[in-house]
Structure 1
């Protein structure tokens, strides 16, 4: 059981691919920007912690007590004096820690408006861990948010308590700015996608409009009506498609017209012998002589039908790529062989007019077939004793093989039609011939199979000259 899959139009597919690509691109930009902002936050916090601890270390090494004018001897006094002189950032805490005994350290802090629910100085367990840590930098992930810290330990003086200077930075607000920028970019990306959907739908429809015209035109075409054409506008790929489609329609129209003419003419040519055969068979009596004559006439008409069919099959095969099979041939030998063969076609004044001495690539059998057909045509339209010349010549990269007769010639109005199938010149219809008008069409097909042509020229002194003009490499 087959399931019909819904067909998705090219317009929808183009729009979907455009949206997917843009969504990936905009999402990638938003994620990249967020990562860059978060990295900048980390770097700024790290620089701030390093700067604060460095300034405190310099104060420890060089600072003096403003009351005594000498170096600090008490970590508690050193921390209080230093913290009084500092101005912390809004998310920064500067703390001094001392431990006179056991338990949580004493806290020396600035008077700041840090919210109590996130302030480090109120988190005794965190302060104890930082004071006891051997590291100078660290990060705490608390329920209140992320906290970055740095510490400078103070050695006890004489028997005094140990101390430490701690810088703590609450990073959540800084990171929230980066996250807000990220969500803003995502929102703008969504708006951009919506705008792209509308614009892309309109643009894709405009671009694909000629394609829809091509489809509708193709759907309306029939064998009886191939006259419709697509209007060509612009110079883009769609216009080129329309031009190509119109050229295809031109070829189809010519092919169908030629096919109809061919079928009509073939039917006419085959209908005549069939009518003759049927008529004689219907009128055939019991007299042996009459029966013998009827059989002879019927056989003759059947032979003519057989030749017509063979010629039709030959012309049908002319469309195949292997219709001619070129091979190296000596043109002089080919011309002489043709001359010897055609001399038996009738009692005429046969003359070998000229011979080109050159090796060329062509199908010897097909060329011989064409030349014999031209010679037979010349015999049919000349009387015994008249001259018929056979020859070949080389003109640069082109060669010519010709048959020239001394008959009545061909009127100009017939020259344009004699190479068509089932067509005969008006001056020749009364000639004694059993042909169906396919001989010169076969000659033309053989010439075109060699990428050449057949040409009709007048003969000096009267008559017709048929020339095979072939472009071939020497």
Structure 2
């Protein structure tokens, strides 16, 4: 189980602060120790220089500064010969040899050493400097106890520990408060989101912070708007689909009930069955269109591309509608180049049939419906024109929505399910294209279908 985000942020802040304080404390501790040692070395160097200058003139007399034994004197000095024997000393107890003959033999210039006083753990800082007298090799040994340095460092470490712990505790509390303040708007949005139901129109409270939290709230509200629109669209789709399915089912049941209501002659039964068959075909076509549209909403429309002749697809569709057009007194025209395109012939034929059927239905007797195909690079443009009354202006923007109809404004036209143009758009988008509708300046309607007509790995 993962820790809450607020706690994780606080822990991360605390650990980072602890590392920062530890690094800063270590740096200050080392720097203080170095500076104290440098100060001691400077004092030893000054003392040694004074001793070297005084040798042979006035002897050594720095006064008794207590023994360098268990008590560990603060500062002392000796003059020794190459064997390490003490010639002169400022210490009352002058028997301690701090430097051996071997160490003295290695001294070529001022050399710093560290030793420990007998019986103690206190380090002694030594400076050995050659100081020759005429005819005699001597060395000046200046020393100082580092006990005071250790005491200063110990006190400083104690202060660092106490102060660092207090600072870390304050930083943790501040981190907890800051994390809580930063996440409080997120928690409010979470509670509000949990309370929003499917039909609720409320939106999340967006804090005016000008940062990522405000942008997150805006993004979530935009997502809720899209989900609400999708929900409303799906609800309308289900309502419209239910209404469209109810009509043929009602007619079908009425025909069957009427046929069973009383004894029928064979011709009467044949008429009833023929009418029922028509309604069943209508139901099957409607169900197929509904299935295709529902798949398109999830991007799952199957498209099986193959090489086909564009002119053959259009002429076959026009031939299939020729009888109906003749009965309606409408002239059909087709103008298509002998182009080979890479499309799903069955889907394209379905879209063409829908457009031809709509155009014939809404074109008055004596009118004309034309189909024109134009190749435009990797695309093919199919233009369907009719000489009917055109689309109502308020209908054009929603012409390709499911169950959208202009039949109420186009008197005398048969009422369809309102899925024809929606299926046309589905087919166009499945082929990487588009579909548009418009009114012609001189009257009539135009629907343009654009298809990507070349092989494409992303669209195959």
Class of the TM-score when normalised by the shorter of the 2 chains: 0.7 to 0.9
TM-score, normalised via structure 2 length: 0.76
Q: Distance in 1 between matches of 2:342 and 2:450?
A: 14
SS of residue matched to 1:318: helix
Q: 1:320 to 1:267 in 2, by over 3 A?
A: closer
Residue 298 (structure 1) aligned to one of 276, 282, 294: 276
SS of residue matched to 2:333: strand
Residue 375 (structure 1) aligned to one of 352, 356, 361: 356
In structure 2, the partner of 1:454 is 436
Shift of 1:203: 2.9
CA RMSD across the alignment: 4.3
Shift of 1:51: 4.8
Shift of 1:129: 5.6
Residue 33 (structure 2) aligned to one of 25, 28, 38: 38
Map 1:336-355 to 2 at 5 A: 337-345=313-321, 346=324, 347=326, 348-352=330-334
TM-score, normalised via structure 1 length: 0.74
Q: Distance in 2 between matches of 1:222 and 1:248?
A: 14
Q: Distance in 1 between matches of 2:179 and 2:401?
A: 48
Shift of 1:423: 2.8
2:57 is the counterpart of 1:64: yes
Structure 1 stretch displaced more, 274-283 or 258-267: 274-283
Q: Distance in 2 between matches of 1:459 and 1:23?
A: 77
Shift of 1:260: 0.6
2:103 is the counterpart of 1:134: yes
Q: Do the aligned partners of 2:114 and 2:124 also contact (CA within 8 Å) in 1?
A: yes
In structure 1, the partner of 2:125 is 148
Q: 1:148 to 1:383 in 2, by over 3 A?
A: same
- CA shift digits 1:152-193 (9 cap, x unpaired): 6889999x9x98643221112123323433433343333333
Map 1:428-467 to 2 at 5 A: 428=410, 431-432=413-414, 435-449=416-430, 450=432, 452-458=434-440, 460=442, 462-467=443-448
2:405 is the counterpart of 1:405: no
Q: Distance in 1 between matches of 2:46 and 2:311?
A: 105
Q: Distance in 1 between matches of 2:27 and 2:425?
A: 71
In structure 2, the partner of 1:9 is 4
Shift of 1:437: 1.5
Q: Distance in 2 between matches of 1:361 and 1:175?
A: 89
Q: 1:191 to 1:139 in 2, by over 3 A?
A: same
Q: Distance in 2 between matches of 1:34 and 1:20?
A: 21
* Structure 2, unpaired ranges of 5+: 66-72, 455-460
Structure 1 stretch displaced more, 360-369 or 307-316: 360-369
Q: 1:251 to 1:322 in 2, by over 3 A?
A: same
Shift of 1:469: 5.7
2:371 is the counterpart of 1:390: yes
2:199 is the counterpart of 1:206: no
Q: Distance in 1 between matches of 2:124 and 2:134?
A: 30
Q: Do the aligned partners of 1:97 and 1:131 also contact (CA within 8 Å) in 2?
A: no
In structure 2, the partner of 1:113 is none
In structure 1, the partner of 2:146 is 171
Q: Distance in 1 between matches of 2:433 and 2:10?
A: 48
Q: Do the aligned partners of 2:359 and 2:369 also contact (CA within 8 Å) in 1?
A: yes
Q: 1:250 to 1:232 in 2, by over 3 A?
A: farther
Shift of 1:22: 0.8
* Structure 1, unpaired ranges of 5+: 66-77, 111-120
| Paired positions, count | 429
Q: Do the aligned partners of 2:78 and 2:88 also contact (CA within 8 Å) in 1?
A: yes
Q: 1:179 to 1:406 in 2, by over 3 A?
A: same
Q: Distance in 1 between matches of 2:208 and 2:351?
A: 47
Shift of 1:388: 0.8
SS of residue matched to 1:424: coil
